Chains A and B, each alone.
Chain A
Amino acid sequence: MRIRVPVENGDTLKALQGFLQKLLSENVVDILLAPMRTPAGTITPALVTDPAMLVYADPLAPVLPVNAATLVGQVSARKPRPRVGAVLRSCEARALVELVKLQQASLDDIVLIAVDCAGTYGVPEYLKRTSANGRPKEDLWKELFASALQNPAVPPESLRQACKICEQPVFDQAQVVIELLDYNLDRQVTVTLADALGEKLGYDPAEAGQRTEVVDKLVQARTVRRDAEFAAIRARMEGQENLTGVFAACIRCHNCMTVCPICYCKTCVFKSQIFDHEPMQYVAWTRQKGAYRMPSDTMLFHLTRLNHMALSCVGCGMCTEACPAELPVGAVFRAIGQRVQGVFNYLPGRDLDEKPPLITFKADEWTEVGE
C-alpha cells in the first residue's frame, strides 16, 4: 500500500526521522542502519537501536561516503542476527542483492528501506558545502531534487560522475520505498510498503503522485549521459591507448578494491603471497622487457578485478572517489561491465533469483566455443 507521511513546517527531514523512529518503536525491526550526521557534521552510516538517536539520521544528505551494502553484510551474514532495517540508496540496495547471491549477506531478516536518490556529492565536495556547525550551508538536497525534477538533463556540475550517469535512481523491489522523486516534499512524503506494515504504522493511505513520470524523465536523461560517457571511454580504450594508457597513473594502492562493495574476498589474491615475488624473479622479468614497472602487475590487477566484479558492478562509483590518481575507475569498469553483462543478459541487482553468470552454466550455450 501507499501511505502518506505528513511533513510539518516544511521539515521533510524531521518527518523522515519520525517515520524511521516508528519502525523501531513499533518493533518492526530491532536495529536500523541509516546515514547519520556526526557531531563534526560529516555523514556516516550507523546502527541505531534508540529511537531518540534518530534525530541525527539524515537520509536526505546528498553524500555517499561508503556503499553500505558491505555493512549490511556484516550484520546479516551469520546467525544469530537481528532484524535490521537498512536505509539504502539504489546502488547500495543493488550491491546488497549481489552480495546476497555471493553469500556475503542475507536478506532473510532485513527490511530494505530504499530511498529515491537524486545523486550525491563526493565527501570533500559535500564538506565544502557545509558550514562550521556541520549543517549544509543551504538545503543541498532540496536544490538537488528540484534540479532532478525540473531539469533532469542538466545535473549540478559538481555532482559525482557516477551519479550523473546513474540510470537506476530508484529501487522498487524494497519492502519500504521512500518516494522522494516527487513533488510537494515540503508537505508530504509518500512511502510504498506492505499492507500489514502500513496498517501497523498507522499512517493514512496516499494517492500515487507523479513519481513515475519524474523517474522516467530522469532515467531517460541519465541514460543519454551514460551512453555518451561510455562512448567516450570506449573510444579511448579501443583506440591507441587501451586500459594501460587510461590507467597509466595507477599506483596499485588497492583503494578501488577496498571500497568496492562487490570485492568481498577476505583473502584477495593480490594481498596474498603469490605476489610476494622473489627478488631474482623481478630481475628475470626486467631483463625480458629491459624495464619493469613497479609496483608490478598493475594491469594484471585491474583486469583480474574486472573478471571478478564486472558482472556484478552496480556503478556506485566508490572506486572513483577512492582513487588518489583521480582515474575514472568507475566509469571504465561500468563501460566494460555493461558489455559483459550484455553477453550474459545479466543485470546486477535486478533479481535475487538470477544467478551470477560465472557460478552457473547451461550445457547448450556457446556450443561453437572450443570447436
Chain B
Amino acid sequence: MSETNFEPRIIAFLCNWCTYTGADLAGTSRLQYPPNVRIIRLMCSGAVDPIYVLKADLAGADGILIGGCHPGDCHYQEGNYKERRRVVALKEILKGAGFDEERIWIRWISASEGQRFAESIREITAAMKEKGPNSTKSEWAV
C-alpha cells in the first residue's frame, strides 16, 4: 500500500453520554470529517477494558480512540478518571513491550462539542496517515 492512498482505519470507543452524543451532533450539524472512523458505543469511557484496545491494535487497527466526558463531568462520577489511569498504564506497557503507543488516543469530548469531535477525527486520521499502516496488519504470528 503506498503512502498516498493509505486510508487508516480508526476504531473509536465512545461513551454514550458525551462523546457519542458529540459525534451525533457533528452528524446532525452536517460537519465534515473523514470516514475512517468506526465507532463502538459504550456506556462510559471507564467501561473500555484495555483488552478491547489491545485486540483492536493487534488485529491491525491503525488508530484507536477512547472518547469520554471531560474530567468532572462523568455520568458515573469517576469512570473517566479511572480510564485515564488505565490508558496511562496501557500506553506505558505498550511502549515497554516495543509497540507503538502513539496509535492509542484518548479525548474528552462533551455532548455539545460536535466541532471538537470532527476536528479530533481529522487530526487523528491525518496523524495515522502520516504514520502509515499498523505493522500488526501483516503480522500473522501474534
Known: A269-B51, A370-B107. A336 touches B96 (CB 8 A): yes
Known: A243-B97, A363-B72. A288 touches B59 (CB 8 A): yes
- A285-326 contacts to B, CB under 8 A, are 285, 288-293, 297-300, 302-304, 306-307, 310-311
Q: Which residue of A lies closest to B50 (CB)?
A: A307
Residues of A within 8 A of B78 (CB): 361
Are B89's CB and A242's CB within 8 A?
Answer: no
Are B84's CB and A366's CB within 8 A?
Answer: yes
Residues of B within 8 A of A290 (CB): 140
Contact of A307 among B55, B93, B98 (CB under 8 A): B93
* Interface Cβ pair total, 8 Å cutoff: 117
Are A369's CB and B137's CB within 8 A?
Answer: no
Pick the interface stretch among A117-125, A127-135, A337-345.
A337-345
Taking the closest CB of chain A, its distance from the CB of B45, in whole angstroms, is 9
- B30-82 contacts to A, CB under 8 A, are 50-51, 54-55, 58-60, 68, 70-72, 78, 80-82
Are A288's CB and B60's CB within 8 A?
Answer: yes
Bound-state Cα–Cα, A344 to B95, Å = 15
- B127 interface hit (Cβ, 8 Å): no
Contact of B89 among A237, A300, A343 (CB under 8 A): A343
Taking the closest CB of chain A, its distance from the CB of B69, in whole angstroms, is 10
Are B93's CB and A303's CB within 8 A?
Answer: yes
Residues of A within 8 A of B84 (CB): 361, 365-366, 369-370
Are B71's CB and A363's CB within 8 A?
Answer: yes
Bound-state Cα–Cα, A206 to B54, Å = 55
- A204 interface hit (Cβ, 8 Å): no
Are B140's CB and A292's CB within 8 A?
Answer: yes
> What bracket does the count of chain A residues touching chain B fall in?
35 or more
Q: How many residues of B contact A (CB 8 A)?
A: 39
Contact of A339 among B96, B137, B141, B142 (CB under 8 A): B96
Residues of A within 8 A of B51 (CB): 269, 300, 304, 307
Bound-state Cα–Cα, A274 to B82, Å = 24
- A248 interface hit (Cβ, 8 Å): yes
Are B89's CB and A358's CB within 8 A?
Answer: yes
Bound-state Cα–Cα, A13 to B139, Å = 55
**Chain A 246-277 against B: per-residue CB contact (8 Å), 1 yes, 0 no?**
00100000000000000000000100000000
- A241 interface hit (Cβ, 8 Å): yes
Q: Which residue of B lies closest to A308 (CB)?
A: B50
Contact of A310 among B68, B85, B86, B93 (CB under 8 A): B93
Residues of A within 8 A of B117 (CB): none
Centre residue among B58, B85, B137 by max chain A CB count within 10 A: B85
Are A300's CB and B55's CB within 8 A?
Answer: yes
Residues of B within 8 A of A310 (CB): 89, 93
- B85-142 contacts to A, CB under 8 A, are 85-90, 92-99, 106-108, 137-142
Contact of A369 among B87, B94, B138, B139 (CB under 8 A): B87
- A357 interface hit (Cβ, 8 Å): yes
Contact of A291 among B71, B80, B90, B140 (CB under 8 A): B140
Are A306's CB and B82's CB within 8 A?
Answer: no
Are A234's CB and B96's CB within 8 A?
Answer: yes
Known: A285-B59, A288-B59, A300-B51. A311 touches B97 (CB 8 A): no
Are B106's CB and A370's CB within 8 A?
Answer: yes
Residues of B within 8 A of A248 (CB): 141
Are B88's CB and A343's CB within 8 A?
Answer: yes
Are A237's CB and B96's CB within 8 A?
Answer: yes
Centre residue among B72, B89, B96 by max chain A CB count within 10 A: B96
Are A340's CB and B96's CB within 8 A?
Answer: yes
Taking the closest CB of chain B, its distance from the CB of A235, in whole angstroms, is 10
Q: Which residue of B lies closest to A270 (CB)?
A: B51
Residues of A within 8 A of B89 (CB): 307, 310-311, 340, 343-344, 357-358
- A330-371 contacts to B, CB under 8 A, are 335-336, 339-340, 343-344, 357-358, 360-363, 365-367, 369-371
Contact of A358 among B58, B82, B96, B139 (CB under 8 A): B82
Are A367's CB and B71's CB within 8 A?
Answer: yes
Taking the closest CB of chain B, its distance from the CB of A328, in whole angstroms, is 13
Taking the closest CB of chain A, its distance from the CB of B95, in whole angstroms, is 7
Provide 18 A-B residue pairs closer than 8 Å at the C-beta atoms, listed in order of the A residue: A238-B98, A241-B98, A243-B97, A244-B142, A248-B141, A289-B138, A291-B140, A291-B141, A299-B142, A300-B142, A304-B51, A306-B97, A307-B54, A339-B96, A344-B85, A361-B78, A363-B71, A369-B106
Residues of A within 8 A of B (CB): 234, 237-239, 241-244, 248, 269, 285, 288-293, 297-300, 302-304, 306-307, 310-311, 335-336, 339-340, 343-344, 357-358, 360-363, 365-367, 369-371
